[in-house]
Structure 1
Amino acid sequence: METVGFVGLGNMGGAIAANIGAAGYPLIVNDLNEEATRPLLESGARFGATPTEVAEGSDVIVTSLPSPREVELVALGAGGLMSGIGSGKVYVDLTSSHPNTIRKIGEAFRAKGTEVLDAPLIVGKGGIRERSVQVLASGDRAAYDRVKPVLDAFSDTVVYTGELGTGTYIKLAHNLVRRGIGLAIGEGLVLGAKVGVDPS
């Protein structure tokens, strides 16, 4: 079974990594807040002192980070994944990021023999811990087929969406639609209130 490296153990990342570990995958974990690694270490995961160390010890590397800035820093910055990757590894970013960011990383990583996937998430009502998650994966198809069992370990639906960056575009469109619906509902309630309709 492939060793999975995981960087970014916040509310989402910690739960995702726990589900991957529960599926039997050996884990190497890292977070700026070392306390966030404790539950996983107590469950048998190993600690990687830096993203470089995580990448060196992993077959599949996963990140779940706050924004494109952190993704680029962890992937390409000093002590980052770039210094630890090599031929035959696969990198998967779960962050709601930017297509240009993941494509920049993809170009750099492929030059060292590591394939890259972006796989942003749509979380359902059941939440991350209950695996109520849809994964929108894109990138090299063979790399996707290889890591799909890892994605299945923390989700209930995995969709392959095409070339690198496509999954992120779909997630951005999804966010736009959701926010648009929310704004429309708000406008409707205001309109109703103005003409005397009880919002309840």
Structure 2
Amino acid sequence: MTTVGFIGLGIMGGPMAGHLVDAGHEVTGYDLGPDALARLADAGGKTAGSVAEAVTAADVVITMLPNHPHVEEVVLGADGVLANAREGLLLIDMSTIRPESSLAITEAGKAKGVRVLDAPVSGGEAGAKQAALSIMVGGEAADFAAAKPLFDQVGKTVVHVGPHGAGQVVKAANQLVVGGTYALVAEAIVLLEASGVDAKTGLDVLAGGLAASRILDLKRASMVDRQFAPGFWIDLHHKDMGIALAAARQADVSLPVTGLVAQLVAAARAMGHGGLDHSALLKVTEALSGRG
């Protein structure tokens, strides 16, 4: 059994913390939302009234937060994780943030005797609920090995992808591929329907050929039905596309398709769809074709 402090109990973090409780770990969670804390308590976890309370007795602290300012505040703040951590603590940030933020947190952790891994995830709310996430981990191999039993409780594909920050770069690559695939599936639907072809039938065929993808498997029916209940919000994908473009600038490479997809995601947000699932890129494509 490991004593885990879990900070960020939203649509991803809540189910993940619950799986760790089910696996027999002692989990103390903290979140700004009282409903999130209540759900963890109902699942058998403990709740904390502050970051400090969640961290003080923990062997491992996991953060699952929306963006780098939140992670930096929680980890580096005056009464944050590092201010309250025991020496030797393993800090696992499973948020999707800028690689440079992960590197800064790693350096701050070293100064406090805290080991750090960046371990962003892919799979959305469904993957979190089903303990089927893909987890891409950056950091020291020994720290990855120590964390692997915890990762195995929340994910199916768990890979050490390289040194500190590498997990965030792989996640940026994941998000540009996901965004690009959604954009193309949206265009396929618009083309099929405008041509008088049943979109469901057409996508069923695509899903059985070289165009097959996980997105087609999971989302083609809901996209055709215009059901955009969020498994992952447009707002968050907008943030992630910014991370991908910033990483491209840092690496001094050109990602022109990523730039275009980032603009489509930004358009979805500007059109008021930020709270919808990222498959709602279909609404942008329809609007561009005068079919919205």
- Residue 73 to residue 122, structure 1, CA distance change in 2 (3 Å): same
Unaligned runs of 5+ in 1: none
Q: Does 1:178 align with 2:208?
A: no
What is the SS of the residue equivalent to 2:52?
helix
The offset of 1:124, in angstroms, is: 6.9
Q: What residue is the counterpart of 2:24 in the other structure?
A: 24
Structure (1 or 2) with the greater strand fraction: 1
The offset of 1:39, in angstroms, is: 2.7
The offset of 1:67, in angstroms, is: 1.1
Cα distance in 1, alignment partners of residues 124 and 48 from structure 2: 31
Q: What residue is the counterpart of 1:119 in the other structure?
A: 119
Q: Equivalent pairs: percent with the same residue? A: 34
CA contact (8 A) 1:125 1:132 kept: no
Q: What residue is the counterpart of 2:218 in the other structure?
A: none
Q: How does 1:3-152 map to 2 (within 5 A)?
A: 3-123=3-123, 127-152=127-152
CA contact (8 A) 2:40 2:47 kept: no
CA contact (8 A) 2:138 2:160 kept: yes
Q: CA RMSD in A?
A: 1.9
Cα distance in 2, alignment partners of residues 126 and 71 from structure 1: 23
Structure (1 or 2) with the greater helix fraction: 2
CA contact (8 A) 1:137 1:167 kept: yes
The offset of 1:66, in angstroms, is: 1.0
Greater RCO, 1 or 2 (C-alpha within 8 Å, sep 6+): 1
- Residues 36-91 of structure 1, C-alpha deviations (whole Å, 9 max, x = no match): 11232244422222112222110000011111111111111232112111311100
Unaligned runs of 5+ in 2: 200-292
The offset of 1:106, in angstroms, is: 0.7
Letter matched to residue 132 of structure 1: A
CA contact (8 A) 1:55 1:81 kept: yes
Cα distance in 1, alignment partners of residues 171 and 99 from structure 2: 10
Cα distance in 2, alignment partners of residues 59 and 75 from structure 1: 15
Cα distance in 2, alignment partners of residues 165 and 72 from structure 1: 15
- Residue 81 to residue 159, structure 1, CA distance change in 2 (3 Å): same
Answer with 135-144 or 118-127: which moved more: 118-127
Q: What residue is the counterpart of 1:198 in the other structure?
A: 197
- Residues 107-148 of structure 1, C-alpha deviations (whole Å, 9 max, x = no match): 001111111101111117953221121111111111111111
Give the paired residue count.
Answer: 199
Letter matched to residue 147 of structure 1: A
Cα distance in 1, alignment partners of residues 190 and 117 from structure 2: 43
Cα distance in 2, alignment partners of residues 9 and 178 from structure 1: 24
What is the SS of the residue equivalent to 2:96?
coil
- Residue 125 to residue 98, structure 1, CA distance change in 2 (3 Å): closer
Cα distance in 1, alignment partners of residues 35 and 78 from structure 2: 22
Letter matched to residue 64 of structure 2: S
The offset of 1:181, in angstroms, is: 2.0
Q: Radius of gyration: which is bigger?
A: 2
- Residue 180 to residue 116, structure 1, CA distance change in 2 (3 Å): same
